[in-house]
Amino acid sequence: MSIKVLYFASLKDRVGRSGDELNIEAPLSVLEVWQRVNPNMNIPDTLLAAVNMEYVGLEAEVNDGDDVAFFPPVTGG
Protein backbone atom coordinates (compact mmCIF):
# COMPACT_ATOMS: atom_id res chain seq x y z
CA MET A 1 0.00 0.00 0.00
CA SER A 2 1.38 3.39 -0.86
CA ILE A 3 0.37 7.01 -0.62
CA LYS A 4 1.68 10.14 -2.30
CA VAL A 5 2.66 13.19 -0.25
CA LEU A 6 2.89 16.65 -1.82
CA TYR A 7 4.34 19.92 -0.52
CA PHE A 8 3.67 23.41 -1.83
CA ALA A 9 5.09 26.93 -1.68
CA SER A 10 7.31 27.86 1.28
CA LEU A 11 6.80 24.44 2.84
CA LYS A 12 8.31 22.80 -0.25
CA ASP A 13 11.38 25.01 0.25
CA ARG A 14 11.53 24.14 3.95
CA VAL A 15 11.38 20.38 3.52
CA GLY A 16 13.54 20.58 0.41
CA ARG A 17 11.31 18.27 -1.64
CA SER A 18 8.15 18.59 -3.68
CA GLY A 19 6.83 15.23 -2.55
CA ASP A 20 7.32 11.78 -1.08
CA GLU A 21 6.06 8.27 -1.69
CA LEU A 22 5.21 6.43 1.50
CA ASN A 23 4.54 2.73 1.88
CA ILE A 24 2.05 1.99 4.64
CA GLU A 25 0.83 -1.23 6.18
CA ALA A 26 -2.42 0.16 7.57
CA PRO A 27 -4.38 3.43 7.47
CA LEU A 28 -2.63 6.36 9.16
CA SER A 29 -3.78 9.77 10.34
CA VAL A 30 -2.58 12.85 8.44
CA LEU A 31 -0.40 13.72 11.45
CA GLU A 32 1.17 10.25 11.37
CA VAL A 33 1.90 10.65 7.67
CA TRP A 34 3.73 13.92 8.41
CA GLN A 35 5.71 12.27 11.21
CA ARG A 36 6.73 9.35 8.98
CA VAL A 37 8.01 11.49 6.10
CA ASN A 38 9.43 14.34 8.21
CA PRO A 39 10.64 12.63 11.40
CA ASN A 40 13.00 15.48 12.26
CA MET A 41 10.62 18.39 11.71
CA ASN A 42 7.73 19.41 13.94
CA ILE A 43 4.55 20.06 12.08
CA PRO A 44 4.26 23.85 11.54
CA ASP A 45 1.45 25.56 13.51
CA THR A 46 -0.12 27.18 10.47
CA LEU A 47 0.12 24.11 8.24
CA LEU A 48 -2.91 23.18 6.12
CA ALA A 49 -3.58 19.65 4.91
CA ALA A 50 -5.66 18.07 2.18
CA VAL A 51 -6.45 14.48 1.31
CA ASN A 52 -7.43 13.89 -2.30
CA MET A 53 -7.74 17.66 -2.79
CA GLU A 54 -10.19 18.21 0.11
CA TYR A 55 -9.20 20.14 3.25
CA VAL A 56 -8.92 17.88 6.29
CA GLY A 57 -7.83 18.02 9.90
CA LEU A 58 -4.68 16.30 11.15
CA GLU A 59 -6.77 13.46 12.58
CA ALA A 60 -8.23 12.51 9.18
CA GLU A 61 -7.56 8.97 7.97
CA VAL A 62 -5.27 8.30 5.03
CA ASN A 63 -5.67 5.10 3.03
CA ASP A 64 -3.91 3.25 0.24
CA GLY A 65 -3.74 5.30 -2.96
CA ASP A 66 -4.59 8.62 -1.29
CA ASP A 67 -2.82 11.88 -2.12
CA VAL A 68 -1.90 13.90 0.96
CA ALA A 69 -0.92 17.55 0.50
CA PHE A 70 0.71 19.85 3.05
CA PHE A 71 0.94 23.59 2.52
CA PRO A 72 1.10 26.99 4.24
CA PRO A 73 -1.82 29.47 4.44
CA VAL A 74 -3.10 30.35 0.98
CA THR A 75 -2.37 33.78 -0.50
CA GLY A 76 -4.26 34.04 -3.80
CA GLY A 77 -6.47 36.77 -5.17
> Contact between 55 and another protein (CB under 8 A)?
yes
CA-to-CA distance for 65 and 42, rounded, in angstroms? Answer: 25
> Contact between 65 and another protein (CB under 8 A)?
no
Q: Which of 1, 4, 9, 58 binds another protein (CB under 8 A)?
A: 9
Q: Which of 11, 9, 7, 8 is nearest to 22 (CA)?
A: 7
Query: Under a CB-based contact definition with an 8 Å cutoff, are residues 18 and 71 in contact?
Result: no
The least CB distance from residue 30 to another protein, in Å, is 15
> Contact between 42 and another protein (CB under 8 A)?
no
Indicate if the alpha-carbon torsion angle 23, 44, 30, 75 is positive or negative.
negative
The least CB distance from residue 26 to another protein, in Å, is 26
* Positions that interact with another protein (CB under 8 A): 6, 8-10, 13, 46, 50, 53-55, 69, 71-77
